[in-house]
Structure 1
Amino acid sequence: MGQGHGWEGAVLRLLRAKDFVCTVTGAEDVTPHYRRLHLTDGGMLATTGVHPTMWVRLWFSDAGKPHQRAYTLVDPDPAAGTFSLEFALHEGRAGDWARTAKPGDTIEATVHGTGFERPDPEPTHVFAIGDPASLPAVNSLLEALDSSPATIWFEGGTDGLPFRTDPARHEIRAGDRLVARVKADLPDLLKAHPDAYVWIACDTATTRTLSAYVRKELGVPKQRLHALGYWRPA
């Protein structure tokens, strides 16, 4: 790991995080506010292996200070040593880097804390709650749990975004006021699917609000709930 990663980097070193330098090989603007980058992995995937919803910490410099953000891998290929990343272009250093990234640019990545525990028993239904920043993770989750139908609440619009959903099995409920919509819909749906799996990956504040609601007010056991804050507003 580079010496400029500050206290966060020092903590991750103590936790035996693994560090790699990845190189951009191409870029596509999926929409004006959503960009996909293709990268070589610097030996990462052969070292760490791959699991559903796998993410890495990318390191950026923000006014000379180290700054890390987590991103889910898209189409990781250990044999080829390649993967892609998709960026919802929020304001901030990560978005600024993604907007201008070009072939040959490099980025340092740390692998630590990522994991996937498959729900057991297999869920009769998946309830996923996300937004553009967590769309790659939503896609990966649905691919991993491909035998389970799913309802997806999504913050904002869906036009042009690269959903990998199957209309025969997946229902997308998109729009504003995400928390209110989930609270209106989810209680009755859970009654119909007692073995459901609830997966929440939004901005940190929304994730905390909804995970507390699902646990405390709806009584979903912790082994049937996964919640991870994916980003903070700049």
Structure 2
Amino acid sequence: MGHGWEGVVLKLMRGKDFTFTVTGAEQVTERYRRLRLSDGGMLEATGVHPTMWVRLWFENEGKPHQRAYTLVDPDPAVGTFSLEFALHDGRASDWACAAKLGDTIEATVQGTGFTVPDPLPPRMFVIGDPASLPAVNSLLDAMPDTPATIWFETPHPSDADLPIRIDAERHDLRTVPRRDAGAHLAAEVRAALPGLLGDDPAKAFLWIACDAATTRGLTSYLRKELGIPKDRVNALGYWRTV
């Protein structure tokens, strides 16, 4: 399958193409699915970093269609990893639900990047949802000794059962039902965060990955109203409401 003009642009930006093979599947909840894949030599060629993601290519009405997914438990020694899908109406979810042993999918690595803060923050604050859960878990794994407060939005009741890798001694998990197109999540963060930041907010580290509009609004709030420095906020809208 050709990748269209997007594939050409990624090639010009030194994107690297690989083919993954499905080696297993697990239905985690009714709305969340995990696939295990072999990497087609990717991990050896690119290396691994926290929250690393890849672009998967799907065919949608005869046209190439790409979506980004975070690697789960990548193992360069054997060349495997998992991908997790928050299921909804869409081509990527359809493919994940139908994928079986031996199926292949094309992927491009380009644009991914994350560096663990140095020095480590005294506390980090994480705001995410099922779509960003793999990245949330990767972040927590990368800074296992750093205390964290996590706001996790749950669009569906079963999302409360998703495997968030928290340590009860260091992590404060706050599940927030999705209401009013993300406004409820934003209100919960605004109500609690100022009292949690401590005497020097510039030392905190904040990571936001939920729907694009909520992510933009919270990022503006952190920068303009709380005065958090730009380099202490890592924010990316993972999906858009339709």
Q: Do they superpose with TM above 0.5?
A: yes
Match of 1:131 among 124, 129, 132: 129
Deviation at 1:192, TM superposition (A): 4.7
User: After the TM superposition, which residues 144-163 of structure 1 pair with which residues of structure 2 at under 5 Å, given as runs?
Assistant: 144-156=142-154, 157=157, 158-163=159-164
Deviations 1:159-193 (A, max 9, x none): 32111111111111112221111111112212356
What is the distance in 1 between the residues matched to 2:63 and 2:200? Answer: 47
- 2:211 matched to 1:203? yes
Select the residue among 18, 31, 34 that pairs with 2:32: 34
TM-score by length of structure 1 reads 0.95
State how far apart, in whole Å, the 2-side matches of 1:193 and 1:216 are. 16
The structural deviation recorded for 1:35 is 0.4
TM-score w.r.t. length of structure 2:
0.92
1:222 pairs with 2:230: yes
The aligned residue for residue 172 of structure 2 is 171
Q: Secondary structure at the match of 2:55?
A: strand
Q: Corresponding residue for 2:92? A: 94
**Matches of 1:106 and 1:77 in 2, distance apart?**
19
Match of 1:81 in 2: 79
**One-letter code of the match for 1:152?**
I
Counting aligned pairs with the same residue, the percent is 69
Deviant stretches of 4+, over 3 Å: none
Corresponding residue pairs, total = 232
Describe the superposition over 1:175-220 as per-residue Cα deviations: whole angstroms up to 9, x where unpaired. Answer: 2221111111112212356311000011222211111111111111
| 8 Å contact from structure 2 (residues 57, 107) kept in 1 | yes
Question: Structure 1: which 5+ runs fail to align?
Answer: none
Structure 1 pair 116/67, CA: closer, same or farther in 2 (3 Å)? same
SS in 2 for 1:200: strand
Judge which range, 125-134 or 223-232, deviates more. 223-232
The structural deviation recorded for 1:153 is: 0.5
Q: Deviation of residue 120 (structure 1)?
A: 2.6
2:193 corresponds to which residue? 186
Deviates most, 39-48 or 116-125:
116-125
- Flag structure 2 segments of 5+ consecutive residues without an equivalent: 178-183
Q: Distance in 2 between matches of 1:190 and 1:202?
A: 21
Question: Which of 107, 110, 113 lines up with 1:112 in the alignment?
Answer: 110
Q: Is the 8 A contact 1:124 1:193 kept in 2?
A: no
Residue of 6, 9, 24 corresponding to 1:8:
6
Contact 1:119 1:223 in 2 (8 A): no
3-state SS of 1:104 partner: coil
Equivalent AA in structure 2 for residue 146 of structure 1: P
